[in-house]
């Protein structure tokens, strides 16, 4: 979970996609490794429903990220193609999965984050939009997008259609990704 709590990504209450935007694919399936930090990323298609074993949802992924200290983060990931570019939507899976809940668990609100995806042979380059860049645009009234700002974080509250316009408008902006989180994953 610490992967996304660094403050360098854009948070959204709604997903970047609607069900109609999803398509069957194998772009991410398998084991990927991030050499610079030693983490492994395992993307697998989930079963549809818990009772229907063998029926696979090939439009979405279940992601398990294991860092160098063996800490595990789990996400639901969906891929969407907009304006000729791929984007990933990450959503924390099972954030209240512990059988023994703590007071802190009740203060976790799951959000979506999304990133631009570039696929080249056996390499994935994932770039998240930068939170500071977004904040600067909003403060200077250079962008209009539904959001809430609590002084620490901006939470986009725009619906998928508005979010899609936002990401396609800024997909080629170097500033949008300059200080955002990124990951280069290699299939091994």
**Given a cut of 90, is residue 105 above it in pLDDT?**
no
Q: 67: Cβ–Cβ under 8 A, 6 or more apart, which residues?
A: 37, 38, 39, 73
Q: Which two tokens stand for residue 33?
A: 């490794």
70 belongs to a structural domain: yes
Q: What angle do CA 20, 23, 27 make, to 5 degrees?
A: 150
183 belongs to a structural domain: no
Range of the domain at 165: 6-178
186 belongs to a structural domain: no
Q: What angle do CA 85, 49, 43 make, to 5 degrees?
A: 40
CB 50 within 8 A of CB 41: no
188 belongs to a structural domain: no
153 belongs to a structural domain: yes
1 belongs to a structural domain: no
What's the predicted TM-score (pTM) here? 0.89
**Given a cut of 70, is residue 54 above it in pLDDT?**
no
127 belongs to a structural domain: yes
Q: Residues 150-166: what's their mean pLDDT?
A: 94
- The count of domains in the chain is 1
173 belongs to a structural domain: yes
Give pLDDT tens digits for 118-127: 999 999 999 9
**Given a cut of 60, is residue 2 above it in pLDDT?**
no
Helix, coil or strand: residue 15: coil
User: Which pLDDT score, from 0 to 100, does residue 3 have?
Assistant: 45
The average confidence (pLDDT) of the chain is: 88
């Amino acid at each position: 979970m610490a992967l996304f709590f660094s403050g360098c990504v854009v948070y959204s209450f709604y997903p970047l996609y609607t069900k109609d935007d999803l398509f069957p694919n194998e772009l991410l399936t398998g084991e990927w490794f991030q050499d610079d930090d030693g983490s492994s990323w395992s993307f697998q298609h989930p079963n549809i429903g818990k009772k229907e074993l063998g029926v696979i949802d090939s439009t979405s992924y279940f992601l398990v990220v294991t860092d160098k200290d063996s800490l595990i983060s789990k996400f639901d990931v969906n891929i969407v193609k907009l304006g000729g570019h791929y984007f990933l939507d990450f959503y924390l899976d099972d954030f209240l999965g512990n059988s023994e809940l703590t007071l802190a668990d009740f203060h976790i609100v799951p959000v979506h984050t999304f990133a631009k995806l570039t696929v080249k042979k056996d390499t994935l380059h994932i770039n998240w939009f930068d939170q500071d860049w977004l904040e600067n645009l909003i403060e200077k009234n250079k962008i209009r997008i539904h959001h809430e700002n609590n002084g620490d974080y901006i939470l986009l509250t725009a619906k998928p259609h508005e979010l899609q316009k936002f990401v396609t408008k800024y997909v080629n902006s170097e500033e949008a990704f300059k200080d955002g989180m990124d990951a280069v994953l290699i299939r091994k």
